[in-house]
């Protein structure tokens, strides 16, 4: 890593996390991240702060027509995939809803002109969609995950961790253990940790301890081979871990 | 498990798996859980309901058509969905589809509705509490840092555009973004700690 390059680019990390770099700067900074663990760590540290911003937004109810339109499209496409004759959604239905309800200037036009206007709106949407997909695919597929044979979703005690969720990624070779990922767990006070257990034929075996970040996300290794195990469980324990669970598990992955 | 009977009790990750298998009922549940937050974010960014609808529709259809793949190791489903909406809204803003941009301000948003997601009361209560924590953490930032962060995230402006708008050096804008995010991170940690 070039120190000069790091000093030149390190100030970009905030703009990067906020999506505020221009295209050429973005490419330059992403190339820098590949070779600079300091900036990569800082980006990962700041990302949850940026991801928290939408959670501050004042709730606004979406129009019912949006859900109707989405479900009509989705149902039609699902029927097509299943080889059934699709009940095609009326593509202009939502636009027509808008013309009636949104006070659009098109609403005052004759039907033929309004239809032409609606088509322009639809074409613009298609063009926008195609360009947008490229950015999302790039953003989500830039790093390939380790090959896993399957992922099992955890059952969560929603009375104690209402926003919690989690999943266990089992590698293709069971010998190397699995990784448990959690989201939406509350960071614990100092002196407490989350503890991972494996339950096998009535026996419960400690695996690892973990904490979660400010965003409630965390990950832990499951070191045992899980062949023949009944479940992976998580409890909250005192720092250093417990010899046996002190509470019913807040999160359970059935195997 | 009978998925048709129990689908509403599934965790988001499992719902996403069903969506990617092409299950329309799972997609409806995903929308019911996150459509409200998605539309709210889009509306906050683009400032009008019509474009917010477009943005939300494009985002959810890209999820349905598996153009955007969810990966559990990158965060929660909600964070992922909102990230897609954010991308779409920035696309819309930068393509000048919105003529009257709302410049990163909540002013004028008079419509306040009940929480649109159909979730259990304890989940809604936890989300409201979480939203309050985030707002308090943002309120704890110096005004000049809040401004550049909101212009970037909600306004979709690049740092060079913000520097021009606020008539300040680009380095200052970048520094305020970085410092502001670091303070916000610490503020959020204190709120939930």
Q: Which residue in chain B has the smallest CA separation from A49?
A: B185
| Contact with chain A for residue B178, Cβ under 8 A | yes
Of A56, A151, A156, the CB nearest to B138: A56
Residues B70-118 pLDDT 10s: 888 778 899 999 999 999 998 888 776 444 444 443 333 334 444 445 5
What would the mean pLDDT of A20-25 be, rounded to a whole number?
Answer: 91
| Contact with chain B for residue A51, Cβ under 8 A | yes
| Contact with chain B for residue A181, Cβ under 8 A | yes
Cα A21 from Cα A15, distance rounded (Å): 6
| Contact with chain A for residue B19, Cβ under 8 A | no
SS3 A223: coil
CB contact under 8 A, A67 and B43: no
Chain A residues in contact with B123 (beta carbon < 8 A): 158, 162-163
| B window 98-137, beta carbon within 8 A of A | 106, 109, 111-116, 120, 122-123, 125-127, 130-131, 134-135, 137
pTM: 0.63
Average pLDDT score over chain A: 75
Predicted ipTM of the assembly:
0.82
Inform me whether the pLDDT recorded for A110 exceeds 50.
no
Give the torsion through C-alpha atoms of B32, B192, B178, A141, to 10 deg. -40
| Residue A205, beta-bridge partner list | A198
CB contact under 8 A, B68 and A136: yes
Instruction: Confirm if B131 and A56 have CB atoms less than 8 A apart.
Output: yes
Q: Which residue in chain B has the smallest CA separation from A129?
A: B58
Residues 6+ apart with CB under 8 A from A248: A157, A235
| Contact with chain B for residue A147, Cβ under 8 A | no
CB contact under 8 A, B181 and A46: yes
> How far A203 CA lies from chain B's nearest CA (Å)?
26
Of B57, B97, B126, the CB nearest to A69: B57
Residues 6+ apart with CB under 8 A from A10: A38, A39, A42
What would the mean pLDDT of A144-161 be, rounded to a whole number?
Answer: 71
Residues A59-105 pLDDT 10s: 899 999 999 999 999 998 888 877 765 554 444 445 445 544 444 33
Query: According to the model, what pLDDT value does residue B159 have?
Result: 93
The pLDDT-based confidence of A123 (bands split at 50, 70, 90) is very low
Residues B112-140 pLDDT 10s: 444 445 556 777 788 888 899 999 999 99
Listed residue (B5, B38, B7) closest to B117, CA to CA? B38
CB contact under 8 A, B177 and A18: yes
């Amino acid at each position: 890593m070039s120190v000069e390059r790091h000093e030149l680019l390190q100030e970009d990390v905030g703009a990067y996390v906020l999506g505020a770099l221009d295209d050429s700067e973005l490419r330059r900074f992403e190339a820098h991240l590949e070779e600079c663990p300091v900036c990569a760590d800082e980006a990962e540290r700041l990302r949850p702060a940026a991801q928290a911003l939408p959670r501050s937004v004042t709730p606004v109810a979406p129009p019912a027509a949006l859900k109707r339109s989405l479900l009509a499209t989705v149902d039609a496409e699902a029927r097509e995939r299943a080889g059934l004759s699709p009940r095609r959604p009326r593509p202009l239905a939502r636009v027509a809803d808008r013309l009636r309800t949104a006070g659009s200037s098109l609403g005052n036009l004759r039907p033929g002109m309004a239809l032409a206007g609606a088509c322009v709106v639809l074409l613009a949407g298609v063009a926008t969609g195609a360009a947008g997909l490229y950015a999302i695919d790039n953003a989500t597929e830039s790093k390939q995950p380790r090959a896993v044979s399957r992922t099992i979703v955890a059952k969560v005690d929603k009375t104690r961790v209402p926003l919690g969720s989690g999943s266990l990624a089992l590698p293709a070779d069971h010998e190397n253990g699995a990784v448990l990922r959690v989201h939406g767990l509350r960071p614990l006070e100092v002196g407490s940790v989350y503890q991972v257990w494996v339950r096998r034929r009535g026996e419960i075996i400690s695996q690892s301890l973990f904490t979660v970040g400010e965003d409630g996300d965390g990950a832990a290794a499951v070191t045992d081979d899980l062949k023949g195990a009944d479940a992976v469980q998580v409890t909250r324990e005192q720092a250093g871990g417990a010899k046996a669970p002190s509470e019913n598990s807040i999160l359970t992955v059935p195997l | 498990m009978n998925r048709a009977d129990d689908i509403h009790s599934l965790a988001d990750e499992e719902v996403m798996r069903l969506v990617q298998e092409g299950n329309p009922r799972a997609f409806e549940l995903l929308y019911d859980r996150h459509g409200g937050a998605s539309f709210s974010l889009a509306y906050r960014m683009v400032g009008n309901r019509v474009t917010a609808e477009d943005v939300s529709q494009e985002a959810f259809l890209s999820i349905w058509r598996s153009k955007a793949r969810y990966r559990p190791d990158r965060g929660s489903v909600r964070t992922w969905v909102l990230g897609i909406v954010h991308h779409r809204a920035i696309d819309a803003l930068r393509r000048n589809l919105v003529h009257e941009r709302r410049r990163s301000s909540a002013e004028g948003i008079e419509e306040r509705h009940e929480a649109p997601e159909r979730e259990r009361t304890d989940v809604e209560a936890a989300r409201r509490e979480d939203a309050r924590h985030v707002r308090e953490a943002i309120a704890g930032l110096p005004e000049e840092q809040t401004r550049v962060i909101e212009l970037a995230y909600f306004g979709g402006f690049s740092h060079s555009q913000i520097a021009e708008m606020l008539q300040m050096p680009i380095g200052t804008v970048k520094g305020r973004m970085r410092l502001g995010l670091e303070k916000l991170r610490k503020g959020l940690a204190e709120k939930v700690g």
